[in-house]
C-alpha cells in the first residue's frame, strides 16, 4: 500500500453540494403573522439554510422554534448548501418542474444521475452516529471479525512544554461502555434519539458541468434499503451500476410516497403512515436492453467461452450430499435469530414466501438472502418494521 503523510485512510471525494430530502415550514400560528412569513419567504428566496432563517426569525421577529420539519414531494435545493451557489440555480434551471399543485414555484422532483463506482456501499455510506451539538461523539463501525462496534475519540494529549507547532492526533478508541459493542437495543443514546442511523446518497448529476459530487443526507432506513435493492438488481442484470448506457444516464433519483411502519411511543405499538422516500429508478430502458448491453460489453469473454468446451452436466448422483446439511444449518440459524428477536415464525413465513416463493425453506440461496438481510438490519426495532411490512401487505 502506498504511504502518505496525509494518512492511510480511505479516499474521501470532496462533496460539491447537498440536496435535501425534506424542508422546514412555519407553524400554522406563526405563518399567520405577516412579518414572520415575510422573513421566511425572503430566506427561501435567498437560498439560506433553515438554521439561518431560524436565527433571523428569532432576532428580527422574536419568534423561536417556529420552524417544523415537512416531508415534501420535492427535493430542497438551497444556494447555501453548495460550494458554488450558482450550481444550485443551474440545477433548478435544468431539471426543475412547475406542477399544478404548486404553479408559482419551480421545484426539483426528479433528475438523472451517474455513478462512478460499482460498490453500492460507496453510493450510500451510512452508520449509527451520535452528535453533541455539531460534534460527533460516538459512531458505529465494523471490526476485522465483522462485529459492529462503537467508537469514540480519545482525549487529545498536548505537550505543554513543546516549542514547535503541534498537531495533536485525535486517537480513535472503542467506547468503554458495553465492552465497545454497538447494540442499539441496550444503548441509552439510541433510546433517547441522540444516536440514530445517518447516511448519504452520493452521485454525480448528469449534464452538470464540473466534477462536483452531490449528496442527499437521510436518516430513513427505508430509503437506504430500497436504494440498495435497486442497485443490487441493476448489478445483477447489467453486471455493474456505474457509467452510462448508450451514452445516456440509466438511473433517476426521485421521491415516492410509500407506506412505512414505525413504533409510536404514544400508542405503544407499531403504526402505519405514509412518507415521501428517496428512491432510484431505471426509467428509460428495458431489462432486455440492459442484458444485451452487458453481453456486448464482454466480447472477449464470450469468445473464450465458445472456444472452451462446456463441461458435462453433473448427474443427480454427483450432487453434493452436504447441501441438505447446509440448508438445515441455515434454517436452524435463521429460526434462532427469529426467536432471539421475538419475530413470529408464521408472520415471517408470509413475507419470505412473497419474496422467494413457496420452497424458500428448502432453498439455500433464499435462506442465505434472508439471513444476510437479518444480519444487516441495524437493530431489532428496524427488523420488526421490515417484517411487519409483509404482514400488512398480505392482509390488504
Which H or E element spans position 70?
Answer: strand 67-70
Contact between residue 305 and residue 254 where contact means Cβ atoms under 8 Å apart: no
Say yes or no to pLDDT of 104 above 60: yes
How is residue 294 written as a grid cell? Answer: 452487458
Task: Taking residues 114-137, report their average pLDDT.
Answer: 92
User: Is 309 strand, coil or helix?
Assistant: coil
Tell me the DSSP string of 87-109: HHHHHHHHH-EEETTEEEEEEB-
Smallest Cα–Cα separation from 19: which of 281, 255, 209, 210?
255
Percent of the chain with pLDDT over 70: 85
d(CA 128, CA 142): 11
**Cβ–Cβ under 8 Å, residues 22 and 69:** yes
- If DSSP codes are grouped into helix, strand and coil, which group holds residue 193? coil
User: Residue 35 is placed in which grid cell?
Assistant: 412579518
Closest CA to 255 of 227, 236, 229, 232: 227
Residue 218 confidence (pLDDT): 94
Looking at the predicted structure, is the pLDDT value of residue 300 above 50? no
Locate cell 392482509: which residue?
395
Q: How many other C-beta atoms can be found within 10 angstroms of the C-beta atom of residue 6?
A: 6
Looking at residue 21, what is its pLDDT? 92
CA angle 246, 249, 252 (to 5 degrees): 150
Cα atoms found within 13 Å of the Cα of residue 224, Cβ hemisphere only: 24
Q: Pull the grid cell for residue 143.
A: 471490526
Kindly state the cell numbers that stand for 136: 460527533
C-alpha cell at 134: 455539531
Arithmetic mean of pLDDT over the chain: 82
The cell for 166 is 503541534
For 363-387, what is the mean pLDDT? Answer: 78
Q: How confident is the model at residue 199 (pLDDT cuts 50, 70, 90)?
A: very high
Is a pLDDT exceeding 90 seen at residue 13?
no
Q: What is the pLDDT of residue 23?
A: 86
C-alpha cell of residue 44? 427561501
pLDDT at 341 over 90: no
Task: For residue 301, name the pLDDT band (cuts at 50, 70, 90).
Answer: very low
Residue 396 pLDDT > 50 = no
The secondary structure element, H or E, covering residue 120 is helix 120-123
The whole-number pLDDT of residue 7 equals 57
pLDDT of 74 higher than 90: yes
In this predicted structure, what is the pLDDT of residue 337?
Answer: 82
- Give the max Cα distance, the chain: 83
Give yes or no for a contact between 202 and 214, defined as CB atoms under 8 angstroms apart: yes
pLDDT category of residue 378 using cuts at 50, 70 and 90 = low
Phi, psi of 123 (to 5 degrees): -80, -40
What are the CA-CA distances from residue 34 to residues 46, 121, 150 (Å)?
A: 18, 46, 48
pLDDT grade, residue 316 (50/70/90)?
very low
Sign of CA dihedral 250, 256, 261, 263: positive
Phi and psi for 372 in degrees, rounded to 5? -60, -40
Phi then psi dihedrals of residue 280, to 5 deg: -105, 145
Q: State yes or no: pLDDT of 299 exceeds 70.
A: no
Instruction: State how beta strands 15-18 and 213-218 pair.
Output: parallel
Q: What is the C-alpha to C-alpha distance for residues 68 and 235, in angstroms, rounded to an integer?
A: 39
Whether the predicted pLDDT of 130 surpasses 90: yes
Nearest alpha carbon to residue 139 among 198, 61, 93, 95: 198
Which has more pLDDT, 168 or 243?
Answer: 243
- Cβ–Cβ < 8 Å for 281, 230: yes
Residues 25-49 have pLDDT tens digits of 999 888 889 999 999 999 988 888 8
Average pLDDT on 69-98 reads 93
Q: Helix, strand, coil shares of the chain as percentages rounded to 5?
A: 40, 25, 35
Amino acid at each position: 500500500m502506498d504511504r502518505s503523510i496525509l494518512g492511510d485512510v480511505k479516499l474521501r471525494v470532496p462533496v460539491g453540494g447537498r440536496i435535501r430530502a425534506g424542508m422546514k415550514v412555519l407553524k400554522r400560528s406563526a405563518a399567520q403573522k405577516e412579518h414572520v412569513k415575510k422573513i421566511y419567504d425572503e430566506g427561501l428566496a435567498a437560498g439560506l439554510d433553515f438554521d439561518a432563517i431560524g436565527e433571523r426569525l428569532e432576532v428580527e421577529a422574536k419568534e423561536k422554534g417556529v420552524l417544523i420539519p415537512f416531508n415534501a414531494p420535492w427535493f430542497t435545493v438551497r444556494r447555501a448548501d453548495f460550494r458554488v451557489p450558482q450550481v444550485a440555480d443551474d440545477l433548478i434551471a435544468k431539471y426543475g418542474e412547475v406542477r399544478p399543485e404548486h404553479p408559482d414555484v419551480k421545484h426539483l422532483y426528479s433528475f438523472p444521475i451517474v455513478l462512478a463506482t460499482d460498490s453500492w456501499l460507496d453510493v450510500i455510506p451510512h452508520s449509527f452516529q451520535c452528535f453533541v451539538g455539531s460534534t460527533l461523539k460516538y459512531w458505529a463501525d465494523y471490526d476485522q471479525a465483522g462485529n459492529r462496534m462503537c467508537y469514540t475519540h480519545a482525549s487529545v494529549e498536548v505537550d505543554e512544554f513543546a516549542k514547535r507547532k503541534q498537531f495533536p492526533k485525535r486517537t480513535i478508541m472503542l467506547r468503554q461502555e458495553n465492552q465497545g459493542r454497538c447494540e442499539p437495543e441496550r444503548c441509552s443514546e439510541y433510546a433517547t434519539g441522540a444516536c440514530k442511523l445517518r447516511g448519504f446518497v452520493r452521485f454525480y448529476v448528469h449534464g452538470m458541468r464540473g466534477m462536483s459530487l452531490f449528496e442527499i443526507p437521510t436518516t430513513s432506513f427505508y430509503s437506504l434499503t430500497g436504494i440498495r435493492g435497486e442497485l443490487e438488481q441493476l448489478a445483477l442484470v447489467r453486471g455493474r451500476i456505474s457509467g452510462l448506457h448508450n451514452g445516456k444516464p440509466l438511473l433517476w433519483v426521485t421521491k415516492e410516497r410509500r407506506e412505512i411502519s414505525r413504533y409510536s411511543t404514544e400508542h405503544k405499538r407499531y403504526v402505519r403512515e405514509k412518507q415521501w422516500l428517496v428512491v432510484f429508478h431505471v426509467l428509460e430502458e428495458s431489462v432486455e436492453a440492459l442484458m444485451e448491453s452487458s453481453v456486448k460489453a464482454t466480447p472477449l469473454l464470450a469468445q473464450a467461452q465458445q472456444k472452451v468446451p462446456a463441461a458435462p452436466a453433473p448427474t443427480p448422483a454427483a450432487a453434493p450430499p452436504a447441501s441438505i446439511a447446509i440448508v438445515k444449518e441455515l434454517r436452524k440459524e435463521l429460526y434462532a435469530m427469529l426467536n432471539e428477536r421475538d419475530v413470529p415464525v408464521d408472520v415471517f413465513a408470509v413475507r419470505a414466501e412473497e419474496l422467494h416463493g413457496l420452497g424458500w425453506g428448502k432453498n439455500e440461496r433464499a435462506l442465505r438472502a434472508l439471513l444476510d438481510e437479518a444480519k444487516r438490519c441495524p437493530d431489532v426495532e428496524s427488523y420488526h418494521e421490515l417484517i411487519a411490512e409483509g404482514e400488512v401487505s398480505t392482509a390488504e
